[in-house]
Amino acid sequence: MRTPLTLALWQCAPAPLDVPGNLARLETAAREASRAGATLLVCPEMCLTGYAIGAPAVQTLAQAADGAWAAAVAAMARRHQLAVVYGYPERDTEGRVYNAAQWIDATGLPRLNYRKAHLFGELDRSQFAAAPPSARLVELSGWKVGLLICYDVEFPEAVRALALAGADLVAVPTANMSDYDFVARSLVPVRAYENQLAVAYANFTGTEEPLHYGGLSVVAGPDGSALAQAGREETLLIATLHPDQLTQARQRAQHVRDLLALQNTQP
């Protein structure tokens, strides 16, 4: 049974190449999120290393999903009793490096590791391998939650695949630039509305040369409303999702239900 779910989005400036410093900042964010009553903290894309750091640095820094960074985040999650979704460069067993996000639960266990499927521009493609699309889910407080990373959420098929798999919430670590404010202000709420689920979109703010990040992190409710939205400043954005919001949205708009019904009638 779903119960109210309070989540925190950490909108921060990047600190490229400073993994120890970023882990220390994440510790502070986790402590503040826990004190605010959150049981889930969503961080930006590549928050542990910085995003625009170049292929050589990505290759040097990348770790396995069960590496030292995962152990450090697991210890934080246990200390502060909340789940953490963080972005990092992941090296697989064959040496490929992915733009990844990992969910570690409040007991310190890794529950879901997601690799970015849609790479944006030459910067992304020069640093990472593209992963096959994935629609796996994890459960928290009765809510079924999926992960996407930044550009992934701009593809309707990616969010719809999670909705058809049963997602109630999609968490999206992001490093989106100020030239694309439309995504946070308009597209993310539309994705939430058309799939009758919530979307938590956690962005960087500030500058990481040559990129200028837009902030505007947002928690969009399943009716398309912005339950909470940040400005340009660094902040810890807090929002609470209520089960009745989900129920009411799915009674008013039934795109996912109607699509499932149509699929079930086809030979």
| Active-site annotation, residues | 45, 116, 150
Closest CA to 131 of 119, 141, 120, 142: 119
| Interacting residues of 137 by C-beta distance below 8 A, sequence separation 6+ | 112, 144, 145, 146, 162, 165, 166, 167
CB 172 within 8 A of CB 200: yes
Classify burial at 197, counting beta carbons within 10 Å of its beta carbon; exposed 0-12, middle 13-18, buried 19 or more. Answer: buried
* Helical pair 255-265 and 188-195, crossing angle rounded to 10 deg: 50
